[in-house]
Amino acid sequence: MAKRRTVHVCQACGAQHPRWHGRCPDCGQWDSLVEETYQAPSAKDKGTGRGANGLAALVPAAGDEKPRRLGEIDADASPRITSGESELDRVLGGGFVPGSVVLLGGDPGIGKSTLALQVAGGLAAAGQSVLYVSGEESAAQIRLRAERLPGLGSDMQVLTTTRVEALAAPWQELVPSFVVVDSIQTIQTEAIDSAAGSVAQVRESAAQLAATAKKVGSVLLLIGHVTKEGSLAGPRVLEHLVDVVLTFEGDRAHAFRLLRAAKNRFGSTQEIGVLNMASHGLEAVENPSELFLEERSTRSPGSCVIPMLEGTRPMLVELQALVAPAPYGTPRRTTLGLEDARVALLLAVLDRRSPVDILSQDVYAKAAGGVRVAEPAADLGIALAIASSRLDQAVPADTAAVGEIGLGGEVRRVSRLDVRVAEAARLGFKRLLVPAVCFEEQKSRTKAREKGADPVCELVPIQDVAQAVDWLRENGMG
């Protein structure tokens, strides 16, 4: 009998080591090595889902495996399957590609299962054959959830299992066009005997499922948990294996969610989807700006709207600041949804490069609505919100601002100004403070557009923070 050997596998990068280390010698991650049973690589293709007991071996291929000339391959033979969720389709680049594997990752409770069930139910209602595999919830729980979501087809096949091999029979019988596996961390294959959720298991199970999906031509949606560091558990190993990696993020205290593509073999990774978690499931948000500006207080000082860009999509977001005299000692700086370092830097610039003295003040700054703003183009908006609170002069309600601020106080160029201007104009903003360097080129473009029926907004060129503060003093509402 062969001796049982163990190996220490890094849960972050998947590297195997004969001995335990406090820090993975390969990727440098601390405390990530876990002891697993060593699997001798078999003569057959190990790790490709074609091992002797693999799922893929159990399910026959739909097509043949002969090489063909590139020119003879018909790309249109498999049109995309629209998911029924417009925001998901947008991120996927027009729907699922048959035979592709999509990994959906996100924090617990963010709505991954809900999204998967909605898509699965929608496809079932549209007459597609759908297999929903859950290793997390019981069939009754899935039914209960489905009852909250309107318009789901009841023909969807639900399988609750944690064994990859249990999928073979239904996969072969149903030849489903859409398979959901919730979640990849709960599923394990008999081909190897590591625990469920370990890197080896996740990799092998996913490889088997993916190989089967490719063979049969099913779309496979894998749901993956995110570790507390924010990466997908068993991360790098899975990302290589799948065609599309989607991340679902958002603040659980707020209803809106952002869907992004971290990798997409069939489309751009620039598109983002905005969804709203309602009592009857997730719904598409076509106009995120309207959602974010809904509760805006237009009269009080300390607020400024910025047209930020998420991927290719413009969104208007309100930034707020509150400046108060520091009662004792070192002034406090608290930020929510903005980067601490960015706000600290802007405070220093405001203090040195403009007449606003701020360093002895407590400053609280946040992006409203639970949005996270990381774009440098938000700088001018943040600075204006802070100055507005300090000077007690409100930025006019019909004015937004965009621009990056350098340490010299200069306002720098931003990308895609035309898209931002158009979004601000669409939402009824009359004025947009823009970097002076972008002003001329943008003006000629707007001129051309002015002839059309599109609403336009006036652009105010701003050279540096001092000029922005001057503008606020003249035009602000005190």
Say how far residue 442 (Cα) sits from the centre of its chain.
30
Q: Which is nearer to ligand TYD, 110 or 209 (CB)?
A: 110
> Closest distance between ligand TYD and the C-beta of residue 114, in Å?
3
> Closest distance between Mg ion and the C-beta of residue 113, in Å?
3
Q: Which is nearer to Mg ion, 113 or 118 (CB)?
A: 113
CA pair distance 222, 133, nearest whole angstrom: 10
State whether residue 147 is helix, strand or coil.
Answer: helix
The entry of ligand TYD, Mg ion, none that residue 280 binds, CB within 5 to 8 Å by partner kind: ligand TYD
Quote the tokens at residue 318.
């309100």
Q: Which is nearer to ligand TYD, 112 or 203 (CB)?
A: 112
Q: How many Cβ atoms are within 10 Å of 295's Cβ, its own excluded? A: 9
State whether residue 172 is helix, strand or coil.
Answer: helix
> Closest distance between Mg ion and the C-beta of residue 208, in Å?
22
User: What amino acid occupies position 39?
Assistant: Q
Residue with tokens 């001796």: 3
Q: Which is nearer to Mg ion, 113 or 218 (CB)?
A: 113
- Helix or strand (DSSP H, E) at 95: none
> Closest distance between ligand TYD and the C-beta of residue 291, in Å?
16
CA pair distance 215, 363, nearest whole angstrom: 58
**Total binding residues toward Mg ion, as defined by CB under 5 A:** 1
Asked if residues 460 and 432 have their Cβ atoms less than 8 Å apart, the reply is: yes
CA pair distance 98, 94, nearest whole angstrom: 12
Q: Which is nearer to ligand TYD, 252 or 447 (CB)?
A: 252
Q: How many Cβ atoms are within 10 Å of 319's Cβ, its own excluded? A: 26
Quote the tokens at residue 61.
């291929």
The entry of ligand TYD, Mg ion, none that residue 106 binds, CB within 5 to 8 Å by partner kind: ligand TYD
Say how far residue 261 (Cα) sits from the centre of its chain.
6
The entry of Mg ion, ligand TYD, none that residue 148 binds, CB within 5 to 8 Å by partner kind: ligand TYD
Q: Which is nearer to Mg ion, 275 or 385 (CB)?
A: 275
The entry of Mg ion, ligand TYD, none that residue 63 binds, CB within 5 to 8 Å by partner kind: none
- Residues within the interface to ligand TYD (CB under 6 A): 106, 108-114, 145, 148, 277, 279-281
The entry of Mg ion, ligand TYD, none that residue 281 binds, CB within 5 to 8 Å by partner kind: ligand TYD
CA distance to 114, 138, 164, 171, 173, per residue, from 157 (Å): 16, 13, 16, 11, 11
Report 108-167 residues binding Mg ion (CB under 5 A): 113
CA pair distance 182, 170, nearest whole angstrom: 16
Q: Which is nearer to ligand TYD, 60 or 109 (CB)?
A: 109
> Closest distance between Mg ion and the C-beta of residue 131, in Å?
17
Q: Which is nearer to Mg ion, 39 or 114 (CB)?
A: 114
> Closest distance between ligand TYD and the C-beta of residue 419, in Å?
31
Asked if residues 404 and 349 have their Cβ atoms less than 8 Å apart, the reply is: no
The entry of ligand TYD, Mg ion, none that residue 111 binds, CB within 5 to 8 Å by partner kind: ligand TYD
Q: Which is nearer to ligand TYD, 113 or 467 (CB)?
A: 113
Report 99-118 residues binding Mg ion (CB under 5 A): 113
CA–CA–CA angle 22, 28, 32 (5° rounding): 50
The entry of Mg ion, ligand TYD, none that residue 330 binds, CB within 5 to 8 Å by partner kind: none
CA pair distance 197, 207, nearest whole angstrom: 14
The entry of ligand TYD, Mg ion, none that residue 277 binds, CB within 5 to 8 Å by partner kind: ligand TYD
Q: For residue 183, is the peptide bond before it cis, meaning its omega torsion is within 30 degrees of 0? A: yes
> Closest distance between ligand TYD and the C-beta of residue 219, in Å?
19
First to last CA, the chain: 86
> Closest distance between ligand TYD and the C-beta of residue 184, in Å?
13
Give the binding site for Mg ion (CB under 5 A). 113
